[in-house]
Amino acid sequence: MSQTGRLVFETERLSVRTATEADVDLFYALWTNPAVMKHVGFPQGLPITREELMDKPFPKAESEFDQRLVVVLKDTGEPIGECKLGRPDESGVVEPDIKLLPPYWGHKYGREVWMALVAYLFEHSTCDAIMTTPNVDNIAALKTYEATGAVREGEDVYHFPEPMQAYTTPVHHYIYKLYRSDWEAATDVA
């Protein structure tokens, strides 16, 4: 695998590529950052050391759907976050994800990546719907998902397993779905 990974897609300002072992510092910075991780139930960040993260192998799968992906600024080549595509489950639903470093919040990079993830999944997979479960307090995420036409279909609270409860908090979240037919109608793709 190359040091820079394989390009998966680009947006106006960003490139998204497969992750490599050289990206361990980025993942460590994201996953241990309380501001990044609080909305997913880790108010102090993920309790992992850089060394433990280095021991976790990065998937060398053929498909971008099975790998960690890195979000990079086109202008500078600087990695600013991660995302994942994922594969549709047995009911045709896929649940992608995005995490960006705090200095890059407020620049609409998350929305830009999300729009491209949605388009990529509907154009390159057989998924019938894209689901996301944002924390009810993550207003920026809620606005991003609604901007793509995702509809709130429910609400729930996720409780971590007992062994993890010392360093996690329950996650009160909404359930949003964007269906292929709605996306195609909105983008005139048929």
Domain boundaries, the chain: 7-187
Confidence of residue 1 (pLDDT cuts 50, 70, 90): very low
Residue 108's closest CA among 137, 86, 80, 136?
80
Q: Helix crossing, 180-187 with 109-124: angle to 10°?
A: 110
Residue 187 CA to its chain's centroid (Å) = 22
Give residue-wise pLDDT tens across range 24-80.
999 999 999 999 999 999 999 999 998 888 777 666 667 899 888 999 999 999 999
Q: Which residue has the tokens 């960040």?
A: 45
Q: Which fold has domain 7-187?
A: Aminopeptidase (3.40.630)
Average pLDDT over residues 6-27: 94
pLDDT at 190: 46
pLDDT at 63: 86
CB-CB contact of 76 with 54 (8 Å): no
pTM above the 0.85 mark?
A: yes
Backbone angles phi, psi at 27, to 5 degrees: -65, -40
Residue 113's closest CA among 89, 97, 101?
97
HSE value, Cβ hemisphere, 13 Å, CA-based, for 80? 24
pLDDT at 5: 87
Average pLDDT over residues 137-157: 94
Tell me: pLDDT of 117 over 70.
yes
Confidence of residue 189 (pLDDT cuts 50, 70, 90): low
